Structure 1
Amino acid sequence: MSDGLRVIYAGTPDFAVPALQALIDSPHEVVAVYTQPDRPAGRGRKLQPSAVKKLALAAGITVEQPENFKEASDRLHLEAYKADVMVVAAYGLILPQAVLDMPRFGCLNIHGSLLPRWRGAAPIQRAIQTGDAETGVTIMQMAAGLDTGDMLLKTHRTISKDDTAQTIHDALANDGASALIEVLSMIQAGTLQPEVQDESKTCYAAKLSKAEAEINWQLAASEIDLMIRAFNPWPVAFTRKGGEPVRLLMSEVVEGKSVSAAPGTVLSEDKTGIQIACGDGVISISRLQLPGGKAMSVTEFLNGRSLAGESFPS
């Protein structure tokens, strides 16, 4: 295609799908898609292709799945595609400098934060957990460091009190797709104005773990609410009832209410939520999941069940 760039696309999970679809629908030519090797998933632990691989195969695009780029043969194979640019979105592999330097315009990354804030593995979740008022996508020129490259374009999105990591993830995936196409047009037009990141403003978005998802009811209701929404859909915030985990999926702070009850005490329950005392304030749980059960609204939960009188360990 004379009117488009030759693009190698590297991505793996759902977050990377909208940008690949946008490239497929654009004048640019996706000459190959790189994605993680198929992994075991589901009850049968059968090998499953990534979300990006499924889309690439459906579109008739060649798929490559190297374990890494340590072998010279893998690097030479990538170089043979003679790409103008390589686009990376949640690929899951570290690219060596030799790969970063191969395409004519280098490698671009679709990163789910407003860099230089939140470099690292979990920028969406950490932004919500910390109470950031906004987030966004940064299209950056990839460099050897962790999310250290020059910023090429940013999009902005408000984080509302109803947002979870899932809703922000989905919104940023779409925002990143649009931003990528805009950046590729700027590359073609020669109008890019790269911005160096201010190292003094960086934060590290550490990888999430199940261990940090257990709720400490001694914390303020506002902190617990942010945690619940940040950890939905994974690792999912939880508390314990009879030693078993009760997963909490959606919540809100009950404004202007303070109580003397011990943190973790269930104060009341109705179709609007299950109200629980915290170290400071009260939180209302509107969606939850019992051990071995499915996620349900509080209305569904209260149909024959009750947590009245319960006190969760803090």
Structure 2
Amino acid sequence: MRVIFAGTPDFARVALQRLLDAGFTVPLVLTQPDRPAGRGMKLQASPVKQCAQAHGIPVAQPRSLRLDGKYPDEAAAARDALLAAQADVMVVAAYGLILPQWVLDLPRLGCLNIHASLLPRWRGAAPIHRAIEAGDVQTGVTIMQMDAGLDTGAMLLAERLPIAPADTTATLHDKLADLGGRLIVQALREHATLRPVPQPADGVTYAHKIEKHEAAIDWSQPAALIGQRIRSFDPFPGASTECGGETIKVWSYEIDSYSCLPDKRFGQILLVNDKGVTVACGEGALRLTTLQRAGGKRLAAADFLRGFALEPGMVLGNPSA
């Protein structure tokens, strides 16, 4: 089976490597154009491109696949490359471009998507983040036959995965990437016997893209929800709060035992010690255990407090709220 692969980040790189390890022929890889990254903002190839180049696989990086769109020449060149690849199927994982109908129709077996949720829950761009933010106890990976909708295609394979209480987007990402790589290999090997199952109409939710403005902690929310958002936004954009005009990022926490906080303002520091910084929330309190100041490193609370004075009575966040 000849497999065109389309993907960009590390989640997709894992799947590409698993396909290669399983012996599938990959004549062409599609990935996003190189982007500026790092302190020097130098152009950097995507993890998928780096993997493809390491295996000597041709790479196409069109900015669009729409033949009638803004970059028709790039789309036409990509079409020529896709046709020349003579692939049986296209595997798509976190590619970042919408596939027009001509692409969906091109391979003999169509296009299969590796989606990091149990569809139809968390269709869209950020299923891992949103599952943790919502407090879901499980997620998984769905292998889907792509159609023109947003993650609406029929399901070929799905496998569940528990979300551990300490999971962040970073740790859950790695588990799901490994699961996705395993499932896509299984789906291709068993394709002749798999029956597409339409997604149910009930239970549809959308995982909207994570925006930087979501990082600011709203201390009027319950402690449990704030904690879920801290884990959801690790590593990007990192949950943050303000103190004395400086931004502090919060990377880990514990739910504190405070059950009643009369006359306490949301965001007020209740206790400071080597175990952490306990902050009043809309419901309960959080002990912040790993923090980071702008330009610094992630530090355990005891180390952070040696260079940044936090005291009981201080209020984090917007003091006028």
Give the TM bin, normalised by the shorter chain.
over 0.9
Cα deviation code 1:286-305 (max 9, x no counterpart): 11111221111223213354
Residue type at the aligned position of 1:67: R
Runs of 4+ aligned structure 1 residues displaced above 4 Å come to: none
Which among 10, 24, 29 is matched to residue 14 of structure 1?
10
Tell me what 1:128 maps to.
132
Q: Check if 1:157 corresponds to 2:153.
A: no
Tell me what 2:104 maps to.
100
8 Å CA contact 1:258, 1:282 repeated in 2: no
Tell me what 2:82 maps to.
78
Q: What is the CA-CA distance between 1:156 and the residue it aligns to?
A: 1.2
Partners of 1:73 and 1:199 lie apart in 2 by: 38
RMSD of Structure 2 on Structure 1 (CA): 1.4
Q: What is the CA-CA distance between 1:117 and the residue it aligns to?
A: 0.2
Tell me what 1:176 maps to.
180
Q: Once structures 1 and 2 are overlaid, which stretch shifts more, 235-244 or 176-185?
A: 235-244
Partners of 1:39 and 1:91 lie apart in 2 by: 14
Aligned residue for 1:233, secondary structure, equals: coil
Residue type at the aligned position of 1:183: A
Residue type at the aligned position of 1:126: R
TM norm structure 1: 0.94
Q: What is the CA-CA distance between 1:255 and the residue it aligns to?
A: 4.3
Tell me what 1:200 maps to.
202
Aligned residue for 2:306, secondary structure, equals: coil
Q: What is the CA-CA distance between 1:269 and the residue it aligns to?
A: 2.5
Partners of 2:159 and 2:277 lie apart in 1 by: 36
- Fraction of identical pairs, as percent: 50
Aligned residue for 1:245, secondary structure, equals: strand
Aligned residue for 1:139, secondary structure, equals: strand
Query: After the TM superposition, which residues 1-314 of structure 1 pair with which residues of structure 2 at under 5 Å, given as runs?
Result: 5-70=1-66, 71-187=75-191, 190-255=192-257, 257-260=259-262, 261-309=264-312, 310-312=314-316, 313=318, 314=321
Q: What is the CA-CA distance between 1:67 and the residue it aligns to?
A: 1.5
TM norm structure 2: 0.92
Partners of 1:207 and 1:267 lie apart in 2 by: 34
Residue type at the aligned position of 2:134: T
Tell me what 2:70 maps to.
none
Partners of 2:108 and 2:234 lie apart in 1 by: 39
Partners of 1:304 and 1:115 lie apart in 2 by: 46
8 Å CA contact 1:161, 1:252 repeated in 2: no
Quick one: structure 1 residues 83 and 66, their matched pair in 2 at CA, closer, same or farther if it must change by over 3 Å?
Answer: same
8 Å CA contact 2:7, 2:92 repeated in 1: yes
Cα deviation code 1:252-299 (max 9, x no counterpart): 322463322221111112333221110110111111111221111223
Residue type at the aligned position of 2:106: M
Partners of 1:271 and 1:139 lie apart in 2 by: 46
**Which structure 2 residue ranges, 5 or more long, are not aligned?**
67-74
8 Å CA contact 2:291, 2:300 repeated in 1: yes
